[in-house]
């Protein structure tokens, strides 16, 4: 089996994978505990992201029809 990184969270009793993944009984795992998200940092990050998007797209930005897509991404929206 190749090494993979899986997102998970702790529900108070168990470690729960965010997405299903087949694991055989006895599979060895490494668990990394991440620090809690800093709410102030997250807020600042979102503010900076919004400012960057505002610079990239103006209010009078043209709308492009789906017919302009040359090659659709079959995986778009599957998450």
pLDDT, one tens digit per residue, over 45-71 is 899 999 988 888 877 878 888 889 889
The average confidence (pLDDT) of the chain is 87
Q: Does 74 have pLDDT greater than 90?
A: no
Nearest CA-CA partner of 15 in 30, 3, 1, 37: 30
12-48: per-residue pLDDT in tens? 999 999 999 999 999 999 999 888 777 888 888 899 9
Q: How far apart are CA 5 and CA 31, in angstroms?
A: 10
Domain boundaries, the chain: 8-57
Which tokens sit at 54? 């505002």
Q: Check if the beta carbon of residue 6 is closer than 8 Å to that of residue 18.
A: yes
């Amino acid at each position: 089996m190749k090494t993979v990184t899986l997102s998970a969270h702790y529900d108070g009793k168990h470690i729960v994978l965010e997405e299903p993944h087949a694991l055989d009984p006895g599979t060895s795992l490494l668990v990394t505990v991440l620090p809690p998200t800093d709410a102030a940092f997250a807020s600042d990050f979102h503010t900076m992201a919004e400012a960057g998007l505002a610079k990239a797209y103006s209010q009078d930005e043209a709308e492009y029809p789906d017919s302009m897509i040359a090659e659709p991404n079959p995986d778009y929206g599957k998450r």
